Amino acid sequence: MPKPEIHPTWYPEAKVICNGEVVMTTGSTQPEIHVDVWSGNHPFFTGTQKILDTEGRVDRFMRKYGMGSSDETASGDSKKAQQKKTKESPKSEG
């Protein structure tokens, strides 16, 4: 039992309000909690989050660690093989 007169008033059914709608109820020391973002409208939780690719950083990361599609890695391997052949050909001629 809490000591009287020292604790704030507890509201077991406090309303969480986002964009004028009650989105959930919870226990709080405030009767209403106004929020701008909650899990129901945040892109991370709704699955609509997009990765902003500035200066090709995501593509560069994917290529560096081999996380690209099989088409990308195959074309990268063939380019390396062609470069290796061109470097070896002058040596074998001499």
Q: Which domain holds residue 46?
A: 1-67
pLDDT band of residue 73 (cuts 50, 70, 90) is very low
User: In this structure, is residue 10 part of a structural domain?
Assistant: yes
pLDDT band of residue 27 (cuts 50, 70, 90) is very high
pLDDT at 3 over 70: yes
Q: How many structural domains does the chain have?
A: 1
Q: Which residues contact 44 (CB under 8 A, 6 or more apart)?
A: none
Which string of DSSP letters, residue by residue, matches 39-85?
Answer: TTT-HHHHT------STTHHHHHHHHTT-S-HHHHHHHHHHHHHHHH
Q: What is the CATH number of the domain that holds 13?
A: 4.10.80.400
Least confident of 8-12, 29-33, 53-57: 53-57
User: In this structure, is residue 82 part of a structural domain?
Assistant: no
Report pTM: 0.45
pLDDT band of residue 58 (cuts 50, 70, 90) is confident
Kind of pairing between the strands at 21-28 and 32-35:
unpaired
Tell me the backbone φ, ψ of residue 19, rounded to 5 degrees.
55, 40
User: In this structure, is residue 80 part of a structural domain?
Assistant: no
